[in-house]
A and B are shown apart, each in its own frame.
Chain A
């Protein structure tokens, strides 16, 4: 942001500023969430109850994990539209495995995450080493993974009764009144948020997304970083698929259809730039919460289904406009600093 000739003082100002920037951007997302909550609390009678907040958190938990995974890819200036199909394939195979081996235990998680990882690696290889534009590659794998799921399914569904009891109980279990799934998702997100600020490889993800050319000249193996982002995305989505199958009644081959759009919506609502290089995991968490809150609040406000679609769409546009406005303001501050 500031040229190499700038003084130490200027650099210090810039670091505090950029830190505040990051906070500010998350803050704007948080602000929208608070505003939404206020609106729904005023317009409906039972929005701000502990029970309802639990429902919102529960609904947002899976989306949060998938959206955080997606955000890693988006930060590298790429896109993964195949996450819905990864949920489908990883979830369905894991469910089949679980119903065939009821005593497999945690191996089921390994299966789901492993399949997700492999699928993510496939995407990443095509994008990073095959030089296929990410939207093209993942559009292709969207169909491919879903097709494989159908082939593996052969028209069979897995009822959740076939799954081991611990999975079903786990999905319903609560700790101090909070659903276990929510805690699990929160843990994943917080760990990822912490790591994204401290672990070198995740900083490289940001660097490559922010300026791929500069990252290459700096000596980063950009291809490897992109591959890494896709792989982690796949693995996390596989984990989400495991959580998903323990929650739904019947696991069909259509599992996770259209999730890519929801995940993308949460990512952009959360303030991750689609041109790469910026965005925070916590923002994505709030983005998913906003989506879930709108969904829930409009139902409670007895808004017709269609208005929900309309308002949700406009909310996404509004959030992006707000975010862009803030970003521009910040850039203006920086320009002021420089002269």
Chain B
């Protein structure tokens, strides 16, 4: 039993935190512990959660992508244009897939091929893609989506209150779990995050793998866009404008090393659930948004601090000696 959990220390901590948060939310509001309520509010975690999975892969390689929500916005306005022209949905989806892959590959090329600092580059493309979304869609929002477009983000399974997109999220989690832990590509992402030069010397293309990670990340943004238009029924250039910090929070709270190479899918999923439980509970208890933020921020910092000081540093930055060998570009 104990052996099974070796290496899952942080995941255990968050699992306990999720349960505690659930208990707390139940005491906060009588409306919280109700299956229908939980299922309904689970919509709120889906599109950011899917992007968090994509970002996890990118962060694993030791890079960063701030432009994911902007890619999402480009995709939503493209879907709006497609719906306006009453294109069939599969064609529109193929379109946004291609566009998202291109945008992701552009990020990846700049970061991996030209070896530019990821944070700075994606800060730039974050603005550029956001601008692109506005250029395509103008400042006027579009709300006249065909029902086929909106299906994924609004339908429930049969007569049950289970939203379809929750199943999509679960599917995405499974896919990412397999990709990250059981495929060559996923293991290479870990290896690159740990020691990119070693990966190069063993004959694996760091550039290609990193570009791949960026493209996968962009795909999650495209999927998020499809869900987004169904969930909110609208598309505008400023869609998902300020979610990136929340997405990063769920990744790092999930135990993913911001310097790359460490972190697991279960941890990220648990931290997504944790943040959702807190937001949901506090929302029902009419706790204003900023206070909610304050509490989540405090938990983020103290969580990392506590784990740094109690354990063998299973979370957090590496000691200075290790950092000195850090970003050695091959």
Contacts and interface: CB of A to CB of B under 8 A. Distances in A.
Contact of A313 (B119, B129, B319): B129
A136 B254 CA distance: 12
Contacts, number: 175
B125 interface: yes
A316 B120 contact: yes
A216 B320 contact: yes
A261 B122 CA distance: 11
B141 interface: no
A317 B130 contact: no
A175 to B, nearest CB: 35
A313 B316 contact: no
A306 B114 CA distance: 27
A268 interface: yes
A324 interface: yes
Contacts of B119: 79, 264, 274
B203 interface: no
Contacts of A312: 127-128, 131
Interface residues of A, number: 54
Contacts of B245: 81, 139, 142-143
A242 B177 CA distance: 49
A151 B294 contact: yes
A306 B117 contact: no
B90 interface: no
A292 to B, nearest CB: 15
Interface string B65-108: 00000000000000000000000000000000000000000000
Given A142-B245, A316-B127, A321-B116, A133 B294 contact: no
A213 B301 contact: no
A139 B324 contact: no
B325 to A, nearest CB: 7
A321 B127 contact: no
Interface stretch (B8-16, B18-26, B41-49, B285-293): B285-293
B321 A216 contact: yes
Nearest to A261: B123
B65 to A, nearest CB: 13
Contacts of B290: 146-147, 149-151, 253
B110 A317 contact: yes
Contact of B128 (A133, A264, A317): A317
A64 interface: no
Interface string A129-147: 0111101110111111011
A309 B324 contact: no
A79 B120 CA distance: 11
B131 A140 contact: no
Interface centre among A126, A214, A320, by most B CB within 10 Å?
A: A320
A147 B294 contact: yes
Interface in A272-317: 273-275, 304-317
Nearest to B292: A147
B131 A309 contact: yes
Given A305-B134, A320-B117, A136 B252 contact: yes
B300 interface: yes
Question: Interface of chain B, helix or strand or loop or mixed?
Answer: helix
A130 B305 contact: yes
B168 interface: no
A140 B135 contact: no
Contact of B258 (A135, A148, A304): A135
B123 A137 contact: no
Contact of B320 (A126, A222, A274, A320): A222
Contacts of A212: 320, 323-324
Contact of A150 (B130, B237, B288, B301): B288
Contacts of B120: 264, 268, 274, 316, 320
B280 to A, nearest CB: 17
A163 interface: no
B131 A308 contact: yes
B27 interface: no
A95 interface: no
A309 B238 CA distance: 12
Contacts of A311: 131
B248 A135 contact: yes
A265 interface: yes
A133 B316 contact: yes
A101 interface: no
Nearest to B241: A258
Contacts of B308: 130-132
B252 A133 contact: yes
A211 interface: yes
A309 B294 contact: no
Interface in A203-228: 211-214, 216, 222
Interface centre among B294, B297, B321, by most A CB within 10 Å?
A: B297
A281 to B, nearest CB: 18
Contacts of B126: 261, 313
Interface in B315-330: 316-317, 319-321, 323-325, 327
Nearest to A272: B120
Interface centre among B128, B237, B325, by most A CB within 10 Å?
A: B128
Nearest to B67: A313
A318 B199 CA distance: 29
Given A79-B119, A274-B119, A317-B116, 5 more contacts: A133-B316, A136-B304, A141-B297, A147-B297, A268-B124
29 contacts: A77-B323, A79-B119, A81-B245, A131-B317, A132-B305, A133-B304, A139-B249, A140-B297, A140-B298, A140-B300, A144-B297, A150-B290, A150-B291, A150-B294, A212-B320, A213-B324, A216-B321, A253-B290, A261-B123, A264-B123, A273-B117, A274-B119, A274-B120, A306-B131, A306-B139, A310-B132, A310-B135, A313-B129, A316-B124
Rank and list the top 7 A-B pairs by shortest CB-CB distance, nearest first. Answer: A213-B324, A147-B294, A313-B128, A310-B131, A143-B297, A313-B127, A309-B131
